[in-house]
Structure 1
Amino acid sequence: MAATPASRLLLLHQVPSHPNTKVRFLGCITTHDPTSPLLTLTHPPSRLAIHVDISLVAATLALGSLRDGEWVNVVGYTSAAPAAGEEMVVTAIVLWGAGAVGVGEYARVVGGLVGGGGCRGEGEGEKRGREGREGRELGLLGVIGVFG
């Protein structure tokens, strides 16, 4: 029996470069229509949008847990490379709220620098200052490793 492949931890802007791959990323809900199985996620200030099909996980999500402006973690499978003018879709197999994540700190730990604003929770880590930074990094790395 073949083992399930580990997800590839990426920043949202890296997802389109990994077609047909199991990925894990953080994104901000910019569009959610409760009558549709698709969420649209971004990572401000980038305008890149990733569509996430939540039909496989919809039954496990709490009512009202998907609100515009909320940050969520996604583990799922990317579609094939989209044709010109088409957008990539990620089929979520796990989705959970990120809470008050320090987005800049998250991006730094994951391996990139992403700034910006526009979503609730962004900047929480920066407001705390340097005190306790090492402990938070270790905690974040532990969470990153859970769904490796």
Structure 2
Amino acid sequence: MTTSRREQLVVHALPGTHGTTVTARTHELTIDETTRYGGHDAGANPVEHMLAGIAAASLVVVRLLGEVAIADSAVLTVSATLNVDRVMGADDGAVIELIRLDWEVANAAHAERLRAALPDLASRRPGQALIDAAATVAEEVSVRASATAGLWCAS
């Protein structure tokens, strides 16, 4: 029996006058809320950073699944409907009501291969538990409009 590799990941967060400074290894991020929620809008908010992590992790796992061409050309938009009242303690519904992962790929062959890979992607994607915790999840794959723009008029 082989043992699985493990890697300890650590970030440090320090509150500042204009948001939170987070350091991951030698990389520094500023995380802040919009002025609407008392921040200075000096950086993306914590939930936007989580969505960015899901998007980036998704592309990394697609590459690990051997679909390098798809990972190199896909555009992934991750969006969520956040129940702000739940975060504020005024509601008991799901924190994230909807999370959407909208993939745009270069062509129909990429779309077919990516759709086939989605179950493997979900089983290996860091952050999948956040996706699974949403009340509603939608993950869709479409072919980039520019890739099909001239197809309908061909004779």
Same fold (TM over 0.5): no
Richer in helix (by share): 2
Q: Which of 1 and 2 has higher RCO (CA within 8 Å, sep 6+)? A: 1
> Quick check: which has more Rg, 1 or 2?
2
TM-score range, shorter chain: under 0.3
